Chains A and B, each alone.
Chain A
Amino acid sequence: MKRREFLAGIAGSLALPRAALAQVDPLDPLVWVVTNGAAVKQGKVTVVLPQLADNGNSVPISITVDSPMTEADHVKSIHLYSEKNPVRNMANFYLGPRAGKAEINSRVRLAGSQKVTAVAKLSDGTFWYDTAAIVVTLSACLDES
């Protein structure tokens, strides 16, 4: 093996797992229900969460999708997934060209520090996602509070 190939191999093996981690698993049954196996690309969607939440019972979340929201090009739905909640699909929002602006604000419950993912389905049949990481000091759902 040449030195160059060897180095490329090492670089590849280091880069791959990280890329794989950051991606939405299209084989995840919860995502599959929505995408039917289609690729989910990163981009267009922005999820905003606070970096730290003292209490996971009510965490403000903002999901924005970069879309003109016209009849020809709009967001059909936004699906919200949690990494650690007992119910992982937290919410689904259905929009249309009548929305004017693809932005949703809400408050979620989070069971522990985790990543929250939003998958958006566009009218052209493509899927986009974004994740946001959050540290939750006191987690919701599972404790007896």
Chain B
Amino acid sequence: MAARIQVPSQAKRGEIVEIRVLIQHPMETGYRHDDVGHLIKRNVINVLSCRYNGVEVFRADLSSGISANPYVQFYTVADKSGELEFYWIDDEGQQGSERQSIQVGA
């Protein structure tokens, strides 16, 4: 699963940084039919989590009510240089993860 995650590469200590996550995923609702009339099984990303140096700072439970190619924008306080780790999983059990590093200056 391809994802585009935007985290500022540099920030001041204590600065509130904006994080934008865009994951390529159909977010199949389970209400649609294919060309021969069979119901397409539901397949949505149900958990998206963001950890900052190992501490979870954001988590989202998503459902079929979120658009295909889910986009989530949230904020976090830059306190230390390190890594932001993103993790998500869909109904079929497919997992995705991505890491972004952030440099925090004084």
Please tell me if A32 contacts chain B, counting CB pairs below 8 Å.
no
Please tell me if A45 contacts chain B, counting CB pairs below 8 Å.
no
Contact flag A109-B33 (CB < 8 Å), given A99-B57, A101-B16, A103-B74: no
Asked if B75 and A99 make an inter-chain contact with CB atoms under 8 angstroms apart, the answer reads yes
Please tell me if B65 contacts chain A, counting CB pairs below 8 Å.
yes
Shortest beta-carbon distance from A96 to chain B in Å? 7
A82-115 residues at the B interface, CB under 8 angstroms: 82, 85-96, 98-101, 103-110
Q: How many residues of B contact A (CB 8 A)?
A: 30
B residues near A99, Cβ cutoff 8 Å: 57-58, 74-77
Contact of A104 among B16, B31, B52, B72 (CB under 8 A): B72
Alpha-carbon distance between A98 and B64 when the two chains are bound, in angstroms? 28
Please tell me if B63 contacts chain A, counting CB pairs below 8 Å.
yes
Alpha-carbon distance between A99 and B33 when the two chains are bound, in angstroms? 40
Dominant SS at the B interface?
Answer: strand
A residues near B59, Cβ cutoff 8 Å: 93-94
Asked if A109 and B29 make an inter-chain contact with CB atoms under 8 angstroms apart, the answer reads yes
Shortest beta-carbon distance from A77 to chain B in Å? 9
Asked if A106 and B73 make an inter-chain contact with CB atoms under 8 angstroms apart, the answer reads yes
Asked if B61 and A91 make an inter-chain contact with CB atoms under 8 angstroms apart, the answer reads yes
Alpha-carbon distance between A110 and B60 when the two chains are bound, in angstroms? 19
Contact of A91 among B60, B68, B75, B79 (CB under 8 A): B60
Contact with A along B39-71 (1 / 0, CB 8 A): 000000000000010010111111111111011
* A interface residues, Cβ below 8 angstroms from B: 57-59, 80, 82, 85-96, 98-101, 103-110, 141-142, 144
Residue contacts A-B, CB under 8 angstroms, 16 given? A59-B67, A82-B65, A86-B29, A87-B63, A91-B62, A91-B63, A93-B58, A96-B57, A98-B52, A99-B77, A104-B73, A105-B74, A106-B66, A106-B73, A107-B67, A109-B67
* B interface residues, Cβ below 8 angstroms from A: 16-17, 27, 29, 31-33, 52, 55, 57-68, 70-77, 79
